[in-house]
Amino acid sequence: MSSTTDFYLGRGEAAEWIGSLHGECYPENFLAVPPLRLAVTATDEATFRAALADTFDIWEDERLGHAYRRGLGWPWPWYSSHNSTWIITFDEAVFVTVGGGVRWHRIDPHDPWFPEGGDDPLGPPDLYAWLRDPAAPPSVPLPLMRKKPAEMPIIGGDTR
Question: Which is nearest to 32 in space by CA: 1, 62, 8, 70?
Answer: 62
Give the residue extent of every domain in the chain.
3-132
Rounded CA separation 118/98 (Å): 14
User: Residue 123: pLDDT band by 50, 70, 90 thresholds?
Assistant: confident
User: Residue 153: pLDDT band by 50, 70, 90 thresholds?
Assistant: low
Select the highest-mean-pLDDT range: 32-36, 126-130, 151-155.
32-36
The pairing of strands 86-90 and 3-9 is: parallel
Which pLDDT belongs to residue 10? 97
Which pLDDT belongs to residue 138? 83
Rounded CA separation 62/73 (Å): 23
How far, in whole angstroms, is CA 42 from its chain's centroid? 16
Q: Residue 5: in which H helix or E strand, if any?
A: strand 3-9
Rounded CA separation 156/78 (Å): 17
